[in-house]
A and B are shown apart, each in its own frame.
Chain A
């Protein structure tokens, strides 16, 4: 035993440098990646603003904020799903079902709140179906949601008969038109939900269960955690958020179609991963997810203003995902791949 007056001692009596513990926490949580992504996006913003005068205009950011809010809601749900060690491929189809439900409700001249409630209920029902199979029957999430994705998109098509709906009441379109201090209410709603999600994740027992199940479901089961109920909640919440995204999408486009949520699934997974969350689960951060989804939309919008052809934009945003994850891996050091 040597005397270690300045450095702290761990429980084995070894002295550790003061910063080591903090560094280990940083590495474990992978929290470097959202920072790096945010920094790169800031550089990109600087470049885009320098090349295009429209980039910093208020209108550009207003137009940008609305699709960001819709994708962001789905990404928040996906964050919980991925944190719990699962994945949800059916989100796009659920958004489609919610949109079609809203369309049918509007066709029957229901009041605005009833339309919204119907869409939310439709989304939640789909999520609960996934949750039942994954949480209670303990089936693999990727397989269940692969099947339910095909099933739900068929149901959405059957409900709408392949038609698109129009003629929504003004009360519903309010979500698209209204602004507060120049900020679209869609985006404010998204921020409010994100705050709720952060509280759920950090300060509730349920959030603790989600992370515990994601890091080791066997240990969680042995610890007496309500695994089935928690997972059921995770997928139902995802369904609810998809329903919300569906309503906002319908309000923005003033029409509803069964294939409306196409592309949202890949977008949401990519946003969560871009924020640095491990795809195997066990960790999540609302801020990182916000950074991930914002990075996608800001870069896409900037490329558009820089006159990059649309298909190249698509390729570049995909390449950005690969580069960010590879860079995150290198930063974190090549740790053991725990599949």
Chain B
């Protein structure tokens, strides 16, 4: 999309924004639920909903960075699995949390750096590069675990995942902190602005002196780091991990970000949208469980809601944008 439209979209309040439509979709879902399953709004269920959103929201913020930079990362699920298995294995070897947690975060960030290096230095298209690293990470992880379950997790990790504060756990707090930090970085720092500029048009960014390296490394390393943060809570909440953990998780993450109105071509997207996207996906899942709907209907509903989100986010483009501004990747 042109830089003009995306800039004006942020500067003035716009009631045709994607977030507004998403919020009304949520409202509709809420009304339907109030009629069909009033139990949904019980405090116990809302706390469960918040807990189920934590990990997805943390990883989605990282994915938003990557998508803003015009990239995509399908290796996030593999990174999540690598880090969560590494955390549990190291923790079970009697290493203290103060050593294991930094190591886990570091490993996530360095796996992200591998992706960034392939994309920035070797000029491999993001989807190809992360497709390759997803297989690479997952294959090596499965060789390491030999497909076995790590069914006991260290006590400190268990403590992180256990609910307190009225059913909420640390993942909710962490997700809130991540959202605040991301809001500051994206809108208040130079690197955040660079991410938008570069994603909007790498060519014009290059002409204004922005090196492609900085935004690419920042985006993929931040996704790796946030995926590692998510992995801590993922392992803590599940209480058991194995090499095939989080298979296909990256697609859920991408679906949430896209549902939130981020443009896969880069340069457009918002944290509020990501939050609403995650909220919509998670409350839909939760509602279908509450209504005792069979598992495959959850897939159908999720797929349908993603398609509705895609159609909603593209609707203004269909009507307003002149043909010249239509992006070349149809």
Q: Is B98 an interface residue (CB 8 A)?
A: no
Our pick among A134, A312, A314, A322 for the contact of B129 (Cβ within 8 Å) is A322
Q: Is A309 an interface residue (CB 8 A)?
A: yes
How many positions in chain A have a CB within 8 Å of any CB in the partner chain? 64
Q: Complex Cα distance A278/B128, Å?
A: 10
Our pick among B139, B265, B297, B302 for the contact of A311 (Cβ within 8 Å) is B139
Is there contact, CB below 8 Å, between A148 and B307? yes
How many positions in chain B have a CB within 8 Å of any CB in the partner chain? 56
Our pick among B124, B265, B300, B318 for the contact of A158 (Cβ within 8 Å) is B300
Our pick among B133, B143, B147, B303 for the contact of A147 (Cβ within 8 Å) is B303
Q: Is B123 an interface residue (CB 8 A)?
A: yes
Is there contact, CB below 8 Å, between A266 and B311? no
Is there contact, CB below 8 Å, between B303 and A152? yes
Our pick among B124, B254, B306, B330 for the contact of A322 (Cβ within 8 Å) is B124
Is there contact, CB below 8 Å, between B132 and A318? yes
Is there contact, CB below 8 Å, between A144 and B330? no
**Residues of B with C-beta under 8 A to A148:** 303, 307
Q: Is A295 an interface residue (CB 8 A)?
A: no
Q: Is A87 an interface residue (CB 8 A)?
A: yes
A140-B314, A217-B326, A316-B139 known; A321-B131 Cβ under 8 A: yes
Is there contact, CB below 8 Å, between B122 and A329? yes
Q: Is B158 an interface residue (CB 8 A)?
A: no
How many A-B Cβ pairs are below 8 Å? 187
Q: Is the interface of B mostly helix, strand, loop or mixed?
A: helix
Q: Complex Cα distance A314/B307, Å?
A: 32
Q: Complex Cα distance A104/B124, Å?
A: 43
Is there contact, CB below 8 Å, between B297 and A154? yes
Q: Complex Cα distance A321/B139, Å?
A: 14
Q: Complex Cα distance A138/B147, Å?
A: 43
Q: Is B42 an interface residue (CB 8 A)?
A: no
Q: Complex Cα distance A325/B118, Å?
A: 10
Is there contact, CB below 8 Å, between B136 and A322? yes
Is there contact, CB below 8 Å, between B127 and A279? yes
Give per-residue flags for B288-322: 1 if the beta carbon is below 8 A from chain A beta carbons, else 0: 00000011111111111011011100100110000
**A–B pairs, 12, beta carbons within 8 Å:** A85-B330, A140-B310, A146-B251, A147-B303, A150-B255, A157-B295, A216-B328, A217-B326, A266-B135, A269-B128, A309-B143, A325-B122
**Interface residue ranges, A against B (CB under 8 Å):** 84-87, 89, 133-135, 137-144, 146-155, 157-158, 162, 213, 216-218, 221-222, 227, 231, 266, 269-270, 273, 278-281, 309, 311-319, 321-322, 325-326, 329-330, 334, 337, 339
